[in-house]
Structure 1
Amino acid sequence: MKGDRVFSLDLLRVLACYMVIQVHAGEFYYIGDGGTVASGDGPLWVNIYNSLFRTAVPLFIIITGYFVLPVKEQMNIFFKKRFTRVLIPFIIWCILYALYAFAMGKTDMEGIFVSIAKIPVNYGVEVGHLWYIYMLIGLYLFFPVISPWLNNASRNGLHFYLIIWAITLLLPYIHQVFPEVLGECYWNPTSLLYYFTGFLGFAILGFYLKKFCTAKSKWDLPAGLSLIITGYTVTYSLFASRLGTEELVPDLELSWNYGTINVAIMALGIFLVIKNIKCRKDTILKKVITSISIMSYGIYLVHIMVLNFFYWAFDDIFSTAAIKIPLLAICTFLVSYIIIKVISYLPKSKYIIG
């Protein structure tokens, strides 16, 4: 509701929304045929621009945990409210992307129906950004389960969870030396720390920050900047060091993994830097940020269509990814917002844009 809005977190959501779009804009310039690393200066500029922006998804989940946890409604009310806002627009956009693929000549009529029928199984290859919605729905399903613990958890209890979760953020690097650790083997993927891993940690971090770190502190800015600089240095350096040795994108992206300690500390740093920013009521800036924040889910859903258009329009005009990546991202962000804003005036638009 309007009275519940927090400007700093609206701003953070807007920044995260833009970050996602720029990360996707960069994919044109470092992902080659067959998932190989592209040649040229594209991967270099992608690393410079987007290593920091890998925090987008963690920031979205931190914000979700901040506002949603612990769940206070009855389970059926919670699911009805959340899934009406998330699931119905998701299904509609899956159908729209199936039609979009047909319009672009990437599938036939049979492919449309196959894509729609596969929605309960997984997203289509051409709409990979929708992976996030499956993950988000999974978190929503688990939130009522974990909320009774959060209601009674002490600060030390939360520290216990978050410290072990932070240790699991080292596993992508440990696996480079020891592919199987703490009980992992080909018949057992659930290792000793398995139940502490994953995106749930970011949501609980968001809850922790709301409960214990909302007050302004003189340490917020220096600590936040230190975390950002440290995380970015690690993320950028590891990506750069692998550019000359790795042929496949999944191997190149080791330090871009959402479940890494460097990405997590960057996300925490950005939160600490932004959380104390305030804005006077009824200013144009506040209204614009609030509006974009409200439309962010719809922007996320539509942006791939818009991004593909601007890639087609601009790619041959400019020679370097240094210009093309931010240009594509800015144009896509603005036009996606305008499209969703226009749709928001339609009756029942919440079922389309969330």
Structure 2
Amino acid sequence: MSTNNRIFSLDLLRVIACYLVIQVHAGEFYYINADGTIPMGDNPYWVNLFNSIGRAAVPLFVMITGFFVLPVKDNMADFFKKRFTRVVIPFVIWCVLYAFYKLIMGDADVQATLVNILKIPVNFGTEVGHLWYVYMLIGLYLFFPIISPWIKSASQKALLFYLVIWVFTLFLPYIHLVFPEILGECYWNNTPMLYYFSGLLGFAVLGAYLKKYHMENKKSDMLLGSLLLIVGFAVTVLVFRQRLSTETIVADVELSWGYGTVNVAMMALGIFFIFKNLTCKECVLSRTVTDISNMSYGMYLAHIMLLNFFYSVFDGMTDNVCIKLPVISVCTFITTYILIKILSYLPKSKYLIG
């Protein structure tokens, strides 16, 4: 536990996940062509080594969300008011800001900018892909009050029943290499037998399960976490590397980077076990970690603008992606935090940064 009734280890996990997201997005400059193909050369291989572990970031965010939110304790009206005020309003504001950002950068004219703003209720408003996460998060919040009574009353065996089936669905991306259609899948049916057990909801339930049954400090946690992380990382890297030699489309190469894969889940769970009982006395470090954790949603929303800036600054300075990728990522992380911290002093800043 940390001071101020916070859990330092989970604040730290949120900070790590926030940085990893930024590094993953920085890596996209070096392994994705404009047409969605993989560029030639060694850069994709180095990005694979740097960013495979970064695929655990979103599952970690969702696990932490499930840890703190499930089961929902507020009545439905209060829950939605609290969560959607801090999530939806900043999201809409940043969608508008990104529309004008595209205009300023010369990627859209005035008419296209107005259309992008009007499109916000449909999808993004403008093509800023990282905002997909907010739609997913809103979907989880809509479902949490529905699933909460079960989470609250379910026995450990009942929770494990769900999680075991969910874990099986994490193997489906690889099973599909052998059986493209399985358990009722076909071109006219996209809701096969285990559809309702799959997806990122599983990480939220996992977070709630870990809070209830696995937060005690055990000597085996570090060993278990390290094994899960090492094996998950190795599988993620090796599968990605193998597919680089056989596939040319990003979506096909990224098989082992999917959030619904067992290796990514292993990395996320491994990182969780390594850090879950880490403590820190009240000091500058603990306060800084807590503050960055509090700013992480705003940082997620805003970081692409600064990421693009630092890419333009550092990309031409060297051909070595092993230098450029971490430098761009760290600079983006630090300056985005500073920006959001400054914005946090504005009146009603929660409507801007969450």
For this structure pair, what is the TM-score category when the shorter chain's length is used for normalisation? Answer: over 0.9
What residue in structure 1 maps to residue 200 of structure 2? Answer: 199
User: Letter of the aligned partner of 1:303 in structure 2?
Assistant: H
Work out the CA distance in 1 between the residues paired with 2:338 and 2:34. 33
Residue 123 (str. 1) matches residue 124 (str. 2):
yes
What residue in structure 1 maps to residue 105 of structure 2? Answer: 104
Secondary structure in 1 aligned to 2:271? helix
Work out the CA distance in 2 between the residues paired with 1:36 and 1:142. 36
Deviations 1:291-321 (A, max 9, x none): 1000000110110000000001110001111
User: Letter of the aligned partner of 1:201 in structure 2?
Assistant: G
Q: Aligned ranges for residues 103-182 of structure 1 at < 5 Å?
A: 103-124=104-125, 126-182=127-183
What residue in structure 1 maps to residue 343 of structure 2? Answer: 343
User: Letter of the aligned partner of 1:344 in structure 2?
Assistant: S
What residue in structure 2 maps to residue 84 of structure 1? Answer: 85
Q: Aligned ranges for residues 298-317 of structure 1 at < 5 Å?
A: 298-317=298-317
What residue in structure 2 maps to residue 294 of structure 1? Answer: 294
* Shift in Å, 1:124: 4.8
User: Letter of the aligned partner of 1:273 in structure 2?
Assistant: I
Distance change >3 Å, CA 327–CA 124, structure 1 → 2: farther
Work out the CA distance in 1 between the residues paired with 2:93 and 2:34. 30
TM-score (norm 1): 0.98
Deviations 1:78-110 (A, max 9, x none): 000000000000000000000000000000111
Deviations 1:104-155 (A, max 9, x none): 0000111111111111111256310000000000000000000010111000
Residue 274 (str. 1) matches residue 285 (str. 2):
no
TM-score (norm 2): 0.98
Asked whether the equivalents of residues 117 and 126 of structure 2 are also in contact (C-alpha less than 8 Å), the reply is: no
Work out the CA distance in 1 between the residues paired with 2:180 and 2:135. 27
What residue in structure 2 maps to residue 323 of structure 1? Answer: 323
Work out the CA distance in 2 between the residues paired with 1:34 and 1:64. 35
User: Letter of the aligned partner of 1:198 in structure 2?
Assistant: G
Deviations 1:201-254 (A, max 9, x none): 000000000000111011100000000000001000000101111110000000
Secondary structure in 2 aligned to 1:33? coil
What residue in structure 1 maps to residue 223 of structure 2? Answer: 222
Distance change >3 Å, CA 116–CA 125, structure 1 → 2: closer
Structure 2, unaligned stretches of length 5 or more? none
Work out the CA distance in 2 between the residues paired with 1:3 and 1:121. 40
Work out the CA distance in 1 between the residues paired with 2:125 and 2:21. 19
The answer to which of 36-45 and 205-214 deviates more is 36-45
Secondary structure in 2 aligned to 1:253? helix
Work out the CA distance in 2 between the residues paired with 1:184 and 1:43. 32
User: Letter of the aligned partner of 1:347 in structure 2?
Assistant: P
The answer to which of 171-180 and 269-278 deviates more is 171-180
Work out the CA distance in 1 between the residues paired with 2:189 and 2:25. 34
Structure 1, unaligned stretches of length 5 or more? none
Asked whether the equivalents of residues 98 and 126 of structure 2 are also in contact (C-alpha less than 8 Å), the reply is: no
User: Letter of the aligned partner of 2:116 in structure 1?
Assistant: S
User: Letter of the aligned partner of 2:42 in structure 1?
Assistant: D
**Identical columns (%):** 62
Secondary structure in 2 aligned to 1:35? coil
Work out the CA distance in 2 between the residues paired with 1:311 and 1:122. 26
Asked whether the equivalents of residues 280 and 286 of structure 1 are also in contact (C-alpha less than 8 Å), the reply is: yes
Distance change >3 Å, CA 205–CA 298, structure 1 → 2: same
Q: Aligned ranges for residues 6-21 of structure 1 at < 5 Å?
A: 6-21=7-22
Residue 232 (str. 1) matches residue 214 (str. 2):
no
Distance change >3 Å, CA 264–CA 219, structure 1 → 2: same
* Shift in Å, 1:12: 0.2
Work out the CA distance in 1 between the residues paired with 2:267 and 2:188. 34
Work out the CA distance in 2 between the residues paired with 1:34 and 1:308. 18
Asked whether the equivalents of residues 8 and 278 of structure 1 are also in contact (C-alpha less than 8 Å), the reply is: yes
Secondary structure in 2 aligned to 1:70? coil
Secondary structure in 2 aligned to 1:119? coil
Deviations 1:38-64 (A, max 9, x none): 112210111101111100000000000
User: Letter of the aligned partner of 1:65 in structure 2?
Assistant: G
Secondary structure in 2 aligned to 1:228? helix
What residue in structure 1 maps to residue 254 of structure 2? Answer: 253
Work out the CA distance in 2 between the residues paired with 1:165 and 1:113. 42
What residue in structure 1 maps to residue 65 of structure 2? Answer: 64
Asked whether the equivalents of residues 41 and 321 of structure 1 are also in contact (C-alpha less than 8 Å), the reply is: no
Asked whether the equivalents of residues 48 and 237 of structure 2 are also in contact (C-alpha less than 8 Å), the reply is: yes
The answer to which of 115-124 and 190-199 deviates more is 115-124
User: Letter of the aligned partner of 1:51 in structure 2?
Assistant: S
Deviations 1:266-305 (A, max 9, x none): 1000000001110002x01001101100000011011000
